[in-house]
Structure 1
């Protein structure tokens, strides 16, 4: 564990510390050691989960990604602002895990203190999403970042954790930008409660299985499908297929680029050694070796910077499809209840007709000659007179729920379509800029080698 002296780097090494130590290592310490340290905001020690102690430089040394910061020219005017940063690795006796700092600023009355700083781990984010799905089945709940992406990295490596941090930041901000989800009480507790308070709240929440029942009903067939939602499902299927195709091609290019980078690393020493045996071509061969090395570094940089945003956005499309499936389940449940009500009413009408047409004496003789006592028409009518109002009430409740679900999902689909255009545009522009910068770096390296070759060719002439 770092000592307090180590936690105060000088200004010269500060930037290197930020780049190389974005993940803080935390070990379990005794509570007596914890209590011996000053407990204030300026202290370099802060309490971690389960009584661990964080020994690190100033917490402000670990910032988030540049695109999460708000510039002076683009002031964030939202009444609820959330930022995820400062990952910390916790090493406990039974497990190792990573937590992230969540900074919340709000002018809403439910956030009385105005600013909160808490720490949460990946499973806590997962819990939040599950509660939102349970509470708002007819809304589009943003997806959690996947456990794995294109790069085969260790989940405790700096690259993996920084990518996860960025995606968790996107996940939370999608939620707080939603007019309904941002007012959820579970979200409020997630953003404001300390670790102990949060654990008590999680244990007190009974596991609701409503979404599971809706999911099982979704296997049924819609009698009267809504055209607008069917079109939305078809569009999501097409979009997912396109994104999956891009993802497959990206993975193939990634593997080929890995092989190409390895060959470039093998090619560099060949030109370097060759230059030692060819004095007249020495400068040209060294320039080519330098260009090869620069190309290898450029490819390595590109391999390490890919986040695979196409696959992550596919998860968002899947979240939209899940919302459509849950809505369909509500409609199936409503249609089944309606069919049951229609069946009971038809049975009532049929019994009334039999009562009018049938003979009372014949019915009595049948009842006396029957070994088993059967339910009379009057008894059946009496039972149905109690059942039909109950089913009617259920149908009304399900109809209201379906209408609300339709309106909620329509609103979310409109909002998602606007966000989707912005998100896809951002992904494509980022992809283009990244490729342009990569190939520009490669071209510059070869241009420099070419200029050396031209100079030396004039000398030979």
Structure 2
């Protein structure tokens, strides 16, 4: 990113001011990547259309990912997931669909959405092989974690005002396995894809010279957001790991007091009371840990992956502009067919405008969703922590009251 920033003609003071404005809105908290290619026929809707659809907030497509199944063949082992769709959209022939999809099908869909809409923010997929904290690829925990992430991915797409109307998305939701395989073969040929990749690489190396300052500010925002969300994710993962270890030790702690009570006649009541308190607090701790694992961890990690998607979107936007700038430079040399080149430049200029408008509209939508998701996760976690400590406090206070009552009765009896 530093290379493209250095080539930008935006004045430093202007960039710093705008970046500060955008970055000030960021959270105040201290496997192989494929080359991106984009389609010449990419279509975009304006930011106004996108905002209008968001304001409508009429959900007409519901997707569920569940029921994972393991498949073993002579050459591979893989997991498929059931994808259930219910919709009232007229472009669908039926109102309900049930298909099975494996991870590579989700990966294909994400690639097609990015190819058709290079400057829209396509939601991230979980990592291809290993999710943080998981070791065994086919363990129950890994499969369930991936299932939830795939469910979120499809629902983010279904909620998107533009991506949800993609023909590729419709095929993914409705086509049987053999139909989907046939549809995949209808994509651009190898030579065409290689040509697009070469142009993308060339534009990336060339860099963009006159990037609008708002997109430079976006890049600075994404860098700051990425650093902070990665730090939060790492710390949260570590807390969860340590809490699981604490939970395991706590589970072994209560039986010790119970065993001890068998050899201390005068301390039977207090020892069994402590054992009961520890066991009850252990159950509350397990519930709190599950909440962190199911709510906060997935939200933070999803936005770690999303920050990488944002960087890719901004690179694709720069590639489109860089191609436009390169054609303008070629026209200035007067060594080519100017009429044909002017026509191509006009198309590229429109494409740059469409790309910019699409990204600006989707950027606002993404920020709104991100802040809502993270705020919800933080508030839910805070409430769970309050509930946890209140319940554990009540457990120990009840124990203290019982001991004080017994102490008073013993004193009365002795007197």
TM-score, reference length from structure 2: 0.76
| Mapped contact 1:104–1:115 kept (Cα < 8 A) | yes
Select 1:85's aligned residue among 66, 83, 91: 66
Task: Give distance in 2, aligned partners of 1:456 and 1:88.
Answer: 57
Task: Give distance in 2, aligned partners of 1:213 and 1:283.
Answer: 78
* Deviation, structure 1 residue 247: 1.4
- Does the C-alpha gap of structure 1 residues 455 and 89 become closer, same or farther in structure 2, counting only changes over 3 Å? farther
Select 1:279's aligned residue among 265, 268, 271: 265
CA offsets 1:161-201 (integer angstroms, 9 cap, x no match): 33322222221121122222112111111111011111121
Which residue number in structure 2 is paired with residue 12 of structure 1?
Answer: none
Larger Rg: 1
* Deviation, structure 1 residue 418: 1.9
Which residue number in structure 2 is paired with residue 299 of structure 1?
Answer: 285
Which residue number in structure 2 is paired with residue 387 of structure 1?
Answer: 337
Which residue number in structure 2 is paired with residue 331 of structure 1?
Answer: 321
Which residue number in structure 1 is paired with residue 50 of structure 2?
Answer: none
Instruction: Give the SS at the match of 1:138.
Output: coil
Instruction: Give the SS at the match of 1:82.
Output: strand
Which residue number in structure 2 is paired with residue 114 of structure 1?
Answer: 95
CA-based RMSD of the aligned residues comes to 2.4
CA offsets 1:277-318 (integer angstroms, 9 cap, x no match): 221111111111122223333333443441412111221232
| Mapped contact 1:87–1:99 kept (Cα < 8 A) | yes
Listed as ranges, the gaps of 5+ residues in structure 2 are 1-56
| Mapped contact 2:207–2:319 kept (Cα < 8 A) | no
| Mapped contact 1:83–1:169 kept (Cα < 8 A) | yes
Task: Give distance in 1, aligned partners of 2:342 and 2:124.
Answer: 37
Task: Give distance in 2, aligned partners of 1:198 and 1:444.
Answer: 57
Select 1:187's aligned residue among 169, 172, 190: 169
Select 1:398's aligned residue among 343, 348, 352: 348
CA offsets 1:312-367 (integer angstroms, 9 cap, x no match): 122123222221111011111111221121122xxxxxxxxxxxxxxxxxxxxxxx
2:376 corresponds to 1:422: no
CA offsets 1:61-120 (integer angstroms, 9 cap, x no match): xxxxxxxxxxxxxxx952322222232333444433222222222233321122211111
Which residue number in structure 2 is paired with residue 258 of structure 1?
Answer: 244
Listed as ranges, the gaps of 5+ residues in structure 1 are 1-75, 345-383
* Deviation, structure 1 residue 150: 4.4
Written as runs of structure 1 = structure 2, the 5 A alignment for 1:23-62 is none
* Deviation, structure 1 residue 216: 5.1
Instruction: Give the SS at the match of 1:277.
Output: coil
Task: Give distance in 2, aligned partners of 1:213 and 1:438.
Answer: 56
Q: How many residues align?
A: 346
Instruction: Give the SS at the match of 2:406.
Output: helix
| Mapped contact 1:133–1:211 kept (Cα < 8 A) | no
Select 1:233's aligned residue among 208, 214, 219: 219
- Does the C-alpha gap of structure 1 residues 408 and 95 become closer, same or farther in structure 2, counting only changes over 3 Å? same
2:180 corresponds to 1:198: yes
Task: Give distance in 2, aligned partners of 1:138 and 1:343.
Answer: 30
Structure showing greater relative contact order (alpha-carbon pairs closer than 8 Å, 6 or more residues apart): 2
| Mapped contact 1:236–1:321 kept (Cα < 8 A) | yes
Task: Give distance in 2, aligned partners of 1:323 and 1:223.
Answer: 18
Which residue number in structure 1 is paired with residue 358 of structure 2?
Answer: 408
Written as runs of structure 1 = structure 2, the 5 A alignment for 1:140-179 is 140-147=121-128, 148-152=130-134, 154-179=136-161
| Mapped contact 2:233–2:304 kept (Cα < 8 A) | no
